[in-house]
Every structure is written in structure tokens, then in C-alpha cells.
Structure 1
Amino acid sequence: MKTNAVVITGDVIQSSLLDPKERGRLQKALEQAFAVVKKKEKSFDVEQYRGDSFQAVITKNPGEALHFSLMLMAMLWKEDFKARLAIGTGEISFNAKKIVTSDGPAFQNSGPYLDELKKKNGLISVVGPHPAVNQEWEVHCQSLSFIIERWSAPQAEAVLEQLNGLTQVQAAEKLNIRQPAVHQRLQGAGWQVIQLVLRRFEQQAPSMF
């Protein structure tokens, strides 16, 4: 049975250079990030492979897929681990017991494009079955990659709290800093642009299959 889904394929940049202690810290960060997204989206299912790589599937609420992807990136970034993510939309035509051995256009629009991101030194891509939509999202993803590449850990932390739905005042209380400091971090992190791109993804999600 064919199912419309969003497939997110990701890997942690230069993780092979980590020592055993940092490896352990990375694994903990990944597990925590997956758990947070799973709590927010019950259809989120994820598997790790090759240690530093992972593939996730979202079968409900496709309009939130970019939001959840940026949450994953921000949760890793605030721990000083950089990741790249390839988001593919479309059908899953073959459901295997494991995500990484399933297949269909959604997987073909995700996994192979992670390799393209590596070649282009990009951080995020969105690819679906429609060329015109993909052309627009190539521009949006170039913008996101440019912005995210320049995040500091504190900026990623501030972005994460916005993605979690906190106000700047609530984020300041949680992070034990003043609200103007949160505002400054968000400005430096390109939050205004990120919001616009997220809104556009939500609008276009129904036409990405």
C-alpha cells in the first residue's frame, strides 16, 4: 500500500573525527533530539545507521516536517554538533520492517540528495516530485543553509525555544538570561527569515506530493 510521507535523511558533519567521549555525547544528543520530536509528532519514526547517520519518516502533519527538521538541527547545533538534512516528499511504495530498507519516491527524494548536499557543502534540502516546486525550494534551502551555517550554540538555543513555542520572555527565563539577549540572539540567527520559510513550507506542503 502506497503512503504519502516525508522522509528526512541526516548525518552529523565530521563525526568520524570525534573521540570516544565526544561520540558518547553525540549519541546522547541524538537520542534526546529524536525523543523531543517524537513527543511532538507521534508519526515520527527514526533509525540510525553507520553510527552518525539517520533516516526518519513522518506520515502525518507533513506541513510540520521542516519545523521538526530545524528542531533536530538546533538541538544538535546547541551542543556544537553540526548536521545536514535532506527532506524528501512523496510516496512510500515499499514498507520494510526497517526504515532504511524501505523504498519509494519519498526515499529517493531524500537519501540521494544528502550526497548532493555534501558535494555542494549545503546543510538542508527539500525535494519532491514536482520540478517547479523543487526549483523554488532550492532557493529557500540555500538561504537556510547560509543562515544556519553561521549559528552559534547560543543562537541555536534561542531558535530552538522559538520552535518549541516559547515567547522571548519565557525563553529568557528558561535560559536564565534577559529578554533583550534572547532578541539579539534571534536576530543574529536569522529568525525572521526562518519564520517566513517555515510559513511557506506549511502553505506548500499539500502540493508537495
Structure 2
Amino acid sequence: MKRYAVLTGDIVDFTSLNNRRREELIGDTDDVLKNWVPRPEDAAIFRGDSFQVLFEELDLAIIRSIQVICWFKKQATQANPMLSTRVSLGIGGLAFKGKTVLDSDGEAFHLSGRNFDQMEGGELLRIITGDEKQDERLAVLLMFMNLVISQWTPSQAEVIYWVLEDQNATQEKIAGRLNIFQSGIAKRLKIAHWKEMEKAIKYIAKELQKV
């Protein structure tokens, strides 16, 4: 049976934004999420500050999970320093695919939604596969990953967002996009422990293929 990944998340501290900024953020986020999937209907924002995305590629799902956390973190400001997100990634089969992601159903949706509701304070990312031993291993790794990610500054998150957006891009190319020196990119990645985080992401991607 083919397995899918369902990403369920919400925007932390969304209500602290003014009306205009909330509208802009929702519109921009909707564009980003829909650009990540072949079928735009497989990504949706609902209840104002919640979102859900259906992925067919499991390795891509973990990358996008980290990236969407960066998407919100990089937009935090002095006025709204706590702007962030929580993400629950469920891995499993589908019962059926509806006209949109919100009309679809199956194990992946149940795991994602149920575990999102159980996320604890400070937990940014949770991954559930339904395999007990697998989930225990991932939970231990994610404890450390969440600690690292929670320390990322908006500028560090911005660099990592673009690293994940185009994994073939050089540091020079990203520096040009952000109008900073290449050394600044390298410094942000080092302080963010990106070398170690990248290995963890690749490990999870391989693990998800085993379930």
C-alpha cells in the first residue's frame, strides 16, 4: 500500500499580528504551500491560522516540515517575536483523496491530526508513522532537533529556508538573494548547527522509507 505524508500545523502567536499583517501572511503562506505540491488543492489553510498539506514523497515531506517552521520564524519581528508554527507529520495510507486536502481521509490524516492535538508546549515538530518502535526512535531524535530549532533566530531561519528551497544553490547564490556576504551565510548556518541538523533530516528521510 502506498504511503503518504500529511502535514498539519498552525501559526503560533498569529493573533498578535494586526489585521493587515494577518491577511498578508495568510496570502503569502497559501502561495508557498500550494507551490510545494503538484496539485494546489493538496494544500489548504483553514480556521484562519491552521494549515494542512498532503505529500506523496515522504523525503520531501520532512524537508518541507522544517522549511515551513523556518517560513514563519523568519518573519518574526521585534513587535511579534514569538511568531512561529507547530507541525505534526503523519505517515500512512489514504482511504480516499477528495477534491481538496480537507476533503481527503485516511490513516495519514488521522495520525497527523491526532498527534497535532497532543503536541506539548515548546514542541515544534512531531512525526508519527504508526510503527511503535520507529516512532520511539524518531521521538528521541526530534527532542534534540526541537531544542536546536527553537533557538534559531529569524536571520538563521531565513538562510535555512532558502537552503531547503534549492538544495543545489551555493552559499554565494543565497547570499546574493539576501544581499549579504557569503561569510554571513556560513556564519548563520554554523551557529544554527545546520551541518548536524542536515544529517538528522537525511536520517529521518531514510527511516521513513523503511516503515
**Aligned match of 1:75:** 71
C-alpha distance 98-33 of structure 1, shift in aligned 2 (>3 A): closer
- Work out whether 1:158 is the aligned partner of 2:159: yes
- Work out whether 1:178 is the aligned partner of 2:178: no
Q: Report 1:1-209 matches (<5 A).
A: 3-38=2-37, 42=38, 45-59=42-56, 61-80=57-76, 81-117=83-119, 119-163=120-164, 164-165=166-167, 166-208=169-211
Rounded Cα–Cα distance in structure 1 between residues aligned with 2:97 and 2:189: 40
Higher alpha-carbon deviation: 165-174 or 48-57: 165-174
The alpha-carbon deviation at position 33 of structure 1 amounts to: 2.0
The alpha-carbon deviation at position 160 of structure 1 amounts to: 1.4
Q: TM-score, normalised by structure 2?
A: 0.88
Residue identity in the other structure for 1:158: V
- Structure 2: runs of 5+ lacking an equivalent: 77-82
Rounded Cα–Cα distance in structure 2 between residues aligned with 1:114 and 1:147: 20
Rounded Cα–Cα distance in structure 2 between residues aligned with 1:77 and 1:197: 20
Check conservation: 2:91, 2:111, Cα contact below 8 A.
yes
The alpha-carbon deviation at position 15 of structure 1 amounts to: 1.2
Query: Matched residue pairs, number?
Result: 202
C-alpha distance 136-99 of structure 1, shift in aligned 2 (>3 A): same
Report percent identity of matched pairs: 24
Local SS of the residue matching 2:91 = strand
Residue identity in the other structure for 1:69: S
Residue identity in the other structure for 1:87: L
Rounded Cα–Cα distance in structure 1 between residues aligned with 2:100 and 2:147: 33
The alpha-carbon deviation at position 201 of structure 1 amounts to: 1.8
Query: Once the two structures are superposed, what CA deviation does each residue of 1:140-193 show, in whole Å capped at 9, x if it has no partner?
Result: 222221122111111011111211222212111221111111111111222112
The alpha-carbon deviation at position 43 of structure 1 amounts to: 5.4
Query: Once the two structures are superposed, what CA deviation does each residue of 1:113-156 show, in whole Å capped at 9, x if it has no partner?
Result: 11222x34300011002111101111222222112211111101
Rounded Cα–Cα distance in structure 2 between residues aligned with 1:90 and 1:66: 14
Residue identity in the other structure for 1:54: F
Residue identity in the other structure for 1:109: L
Check conservation: 2:33, 2:53, Cα contact below 8 A.
no
Q: TM-score, normalised by structure 1?
A: 0.88
Check conservation: 2:7, 2:53, Cα contact below 8 A.
yes
Check conservation: 1:29, 1:75, Cα contact below 8 A.
no
